[in-house]
Structure 1
Amino acid sequence: MATAFVLAATGHAQAQNATPAPAPTVQPHGYMVISYDIKDQAMFQKYMDAAGSLAANYNGKVTIFNMKVKGAEGKPRSVFGMVEFPNLADAQRFYNSPEYTAARKFRIAATKGTSTVILTEGLPQ
């Protein structure tokens, strides 16, 4: 019985002195955030036809696309979108790809004023 007590106490002491496993590292994802106003719906449809399915080719997925944005503060543009990628490098590869570069010309022609496009990192939720 004494031996069992010593073994149990030794195991308990070793468990208390053990170094905890490091927390898993969460890698930031890459995001493309867009905001603009449409002036030419037919041209915008050409953009959607050309760009609509491209993000998946670069491991991206559209997480937000809203054509009727309402602001809580300030004056937002009417369209807001966000595409999530596994990392910033994939977002940059998508944005700079020949396919998206060609599609982007339709978006620029279809929108009024300046579009806002942000490529950034962020932690997934």
Structure 2
Amino acid sequence: MPKAYIIARVTVTDPERYANYVKGATEAIRKYGGRALARGGRMTSLEGEARPRNVVLEFDSLEQAERYYNSPEYQAAKSEREGAAIAEIVAVEGAE
């Protein structure tokens, strides 16, 4: 079964509130078996519209990634992000 990845492209507009989101999201990532492969850090825009914060999370399956995203723990964290960032988030199945 291929791994799955959640890819988030984010512009933080309220760093203090976003920090609360990160704390809750990190706990949910651990609980649902996710691993952060990239989380912020330096980036270079190669093409298209860039966002300054980029996150890549790995999960054992697309279903597990969806369980994480839809979990009560993540949804509580997500409520902290609303109004604190502009985000584009996708879940994608990896290649075999």
| TM score, norm. by length of structure 2 | 0.90
1:45 is aligned to 19
CA–CA distance in structure 1, aligned partners of residues 93 and 49 of structure 2: 25
Q: Match for 2:67: what amino acid?
A: R
Q: Is the 8 A contact 1:28 1:122 kept in 2?
A: yes
Structure 2 counterpart of 1:93, from 67, 80, 95: 67
Q: CA deviation at 1:68?
A: 4.3
Greater per-residue helix proportion: 1
Q: Between the two proteins, what is the percent identity of the paired residues?
A: 28
Q: CA deviation at 1:37?
A: 0.3
The answer to whether residue 83 in structure 2 is matched with residue 123 in structure 1 is no
Residues 120 and 78 of structure 1: CA distance in aligned 2, closer, same or farther (over 3 Å): same
CA–CA distance in structure 2, aligned partners of residues 42 and 122 of structure 1: 33
Cα shift readout 1:44-93 (whole Å, capped 9, x = no counterpart)? 11111211222121111111112543201122111100110000110000
Q: Match for 2:68: what amino acid?
A: F
CA–CA distance in structure 1, aligned partners of residues 27 and 73 of structure 2: 11
CA–CA distance in structure 2, aligned partners of residues 54 and 39 of structure 1: 22
The answer to whether residue 36 in structure 2 is matched with residue 36 in structure 1 is no
Q: Match for 2:3: what amino acid?
A: H
Gaps of 5+ in 1: 1-26
CA RMSD of aligned residues (A): 1.4
Moved more, 88-97 or 103-112: 103-112
1:71 is aligned to 45
Determine which structure has greater relative contact order: mean sequence separation of CA pairs < 8 Å that are 6+ residues apart, divided by chain length: 2
Higher Cα Rg: structure 1 or 2?
1
Q: Is the 8 A contact 1:65 1:79 kept in 2?
A: yes
The answer to whether residue 30 in structure 2 is matched with residue 56 in structure 1 is yes
Runs of 4+ off more than 4 Å: none
2:46 counterpart SS class: coil
Q: Is the 8 A contact 1:32 1:120 kept in 2?
A: yes
